[in-house]
Amino acid sequence: MPVDSSPTPELADSEHLAVLGYEDSFNRSMTLWANFALGFTYLSPLVGVYSLFALAVSTGGPPSIFWLLIVGGGQMLVALVFGEVVSQYPIHGGIYPWTRRLWGRRYAWMSAWVYIWAMIVTITAVAEFGSGFLASLVGLPITKTVTLGLTVLFLVVALGLNFTGTKTLGRVARIGLAAELIGVIAVGLYLLIFQRHHEFSVFFDSMGVEGKGSYAAAFLGAALAGLFLFYGFEACGDVAEEVADPARRIPKAMILTILVGGVSSLFAFGGYVMAAPNLAAIVSGKDADPIPAILQASLGDVGAKIFLVVALTAFLSCVLSLQAAASRLLFSFARDGMIPGHTWLARVSPHTKVPTNALIVACSIPVILCLIIFVGPDGLLTQITSFAVLGIYVAFQAVVLASLRQRIKGWRPAGPFSLGRAGFVVNVAALVYGIFAMVLLAVPGRSGVFLNDWIVLIGLAIVMGVGLLYLFIARPDRKSDAPSGDAIHVAELLRSHRK
C-alpha cells in the first residue's frame, strides 16, 4: 500500500516547482475531485464500453468481461508507478517531463511524440463517435457531411470551454463525471436488477465463439475489451501545475480513476449482457450495434432519449479533457524549446492562465484529420486510429521502463506518495504487464488482407519513423537546456529542502 514517507511537512507547491527549475505560471484552482473527474472523463467507461461491447462479446463471448478485471489490475500497477513519479515531478505535460527527468531528452522526445499523436487521433475519434449520438438526438441522418459538421462542432465547443480557464475545465469535468456515473453505473444497475434475461452463469459460458478451436485463443482475441478502456488516468498529471498540492492529490486521483472506472465498466458491460433480449445474435456477430436496441427495449423511447443526452454530455466532457491534456503536453514540449514554434506554443494567457495557442493546435489538427476522413474512403477513421492505443501503451511503458532503470541506479522516489520497498516489485510487474499488453495489441490479425492485419504496426512505424527523422535532422534535444536524467539528484534536493 502507498505510504506517506516524508519525514516533515511537504514543500509549498511553488517551492517544489522551483526545485525542479520552473516558476508558477498557472492558477492552482483544480481540486482533487476536479482532477479525478478530468482523468475519469478522459478514460470514459461509457465511451469505451459502448464502442467495444459488440466486438468483445462476438470475439470472446460473455466471459470477455473478465478482461476488465485483468487490464484494470495491470493498469493499476502502472498508475502506482506513475503516482511515485508525478509525486516527485508534479510538472505540466506528464509523460514528456517524466521520461526526460528519468532518462534523457531524446528518449523523452520520442516517447512524447508517439503519445501526442495517439492523443490527437483519440480526440478526433471520440468527437467523430459523439457526433453520431448528437445526430440521433436531433434526428439528422448519419451521413459523412453531417458527421463532419457535428464533429467540428464538438471540437470547437470544447475549445471555447477550454479557453475560459481551469475552473471551467474542472466544472465541466465534474458534470461529465456525473453523466458518466449515471450512464454506466445507474443504467448498468437498473439493467442488472430489473431487466435481466439471463443468469449470472452466462459470464462463464463461451456460447460457442471458439468454434472447433481453443477458447483460449478466442479469449485472448477479446482483450481489446479492456485494453482500449483503461487509459486516461495519466491526464491527471498532464495538468499538474493547475492542481493544488499536486504531489499528494494527483496519485490519489489516478488510483480513483482506475478503481471507479473499473467498477463502472463492470456494471455497464454486465448490464448490457444480462439485458440483451437476443444475446446469441450479438455473440454470432449478426447484431453489430446491439446497445441501442437493448436501451430501447429496457428504457423505452423517453429513457433512451435521456440516455442520449447523458451520453452526449460525457462525450463533450471527454473531448474537453483530451484537448486540455494534449495542450498541456504541447506546452511542456514548447516551454523546453523542443518543438518548432515553441515560443508561440509556450504562451500562457495572462487572463485565463491557460496555454491558448497550444489549445488551438490541439483543436486544429483533429479538424484537419476530420477533413481527411471526410474525403477519404470508408473505414479510414478505423485505420488511422488503430495505432492510437498501442502508441499510448508504448508511451506508458516508456515511463515504466525509465523508472525501473533509475531504481536500479539507486533512485528512491522523494515525493510524498511512495510505495516504499514494494516500489521495485510493482515497477517490474507493471513492465511485464505492459509488454504483455503491447504484444496483444500488435499481433497481426488473420483476415488475409495485408493492410487490415498489419495496420496497427504500420501506423506506429510511420509515426515513430517521422519522429526519428525529425529528431536526428533537427536535433531538438540540442536546442534545449531543460534538465534531464536527474531523478536521483532531484530526490536528494527535495529531501534536503524538507530538513
333 class by beta-carbon count within 10 Å (0-12 exposed, 13-18 middle, 19+ buried):
buried
CATH class of 30-490: mainly alpha
Which residue type occupies 365?
I
- Do residues 395 and 112 lie in contact, with contact meaning Cβ atoms separated by under 8 Å? yes
Low-confidence residues of the chain: pLDDT under 70? 1-10, 379-380, 382-383, 385-386, 445-453, 499
Per-residue buried b or exposed e for 439-466, using 16+ beta carbons within 10 Å of the residue's own CB: ebbeeeeeeeeeebeebbbbbbeebbee
Q: Are 401 and 481 in contact (CB under 8 A)?
A: no
Domain ranges of the chain: 30-490
pLDDT on residue 388: 81
Secondary structure (H, E, C), the chain:
CCEECCCCCCCCHHHHHHHCCCCCCCCCCECHHHHHHHHHHHHCHHHHHHHHHHHHHHHHCHHHHHHHHHHHHHHHHHHHHHHHHHHHCCCCCCHHHHHHHHCCHHHHHHHHHHHHHHHHHHHHHHHHHHHHHHHHHHCCCCCHHHHHHHHHHHHHHHHHHHHCCHHHHHHHHHHHHHHHHHHHHHHHHHHHHHCCCCCHHHHHCCCCCCCCCCHHHHHHHCCHHHHCCCCCCCHHHHCHHHECCHHHHHHHHHHHHHHHHHHHHHHHHHHHHHHCCCHHHHHHCCCCCCHHHHHHHHHHHHHHHHHHHHHHHHHHHHHHHHHHHHHHHHHHHHHCCCCCCHHHHCCCCCCCCCCHHHHHHHHHHHHHHHHHHHHCCCCHHHHHHCCHHHHHHHHHHHHHHHHHHHHHCCCCCCCCEECCCHHHHHHHHHHHHHHHHHHHHHCCCCCCCHHHHHHHHHHHHHHHHHHHHHHHHHCHHHHCCCCCCCHHHHHHHHHHHHC
C-alpha cell at 44: 470514459
Nearest to 323 by CA among 91, 168, 456, 471: 168
List of residues 6+ apart from 61 with CB closer than 8 A: 205, 206, 207, 208, 209, 218, 222, 283
Reference 261, options 42, 1, 63; nearest CA is 42
* Predicted pLDDT at 393: 93
pLDDT score recorded for residue 69: 95
CB neighbour list of residue 201: distance below 8 Å, 6 or more residues apart:
none
Taking only the tens place, the pLDDT of each residue in 37-55 is: 888 888 888 888 887 888 8
Q: What is the pLDDT of residue 143?
A: 86
User: Which pLDDT does position 332 carry in this prediction?
Assistant: 85
The C-alpha cell that represents 171 in the structure block: 466544472
pLDDT for the residue 447 = 59
- Residue 352 grid cell: 485565463
Predicted structure pTM score: 0.88
Give me 112's grid cell.
512524447
Distance CA 174, CA 447 (A): 42
CB–CB of 195/15 below 8 Å? no
> How far is the C-alpha of 256 from the C-alpha of 72, rounded, in Å?
12
The one-letter amino acid at 170: G
* Residues 389, 118 contacting (CB under 8 angstroms): yes
Per-residue pLDDT tens over the stretch 99-129: 999 999 999 999 999 999 998 988 998 888 8
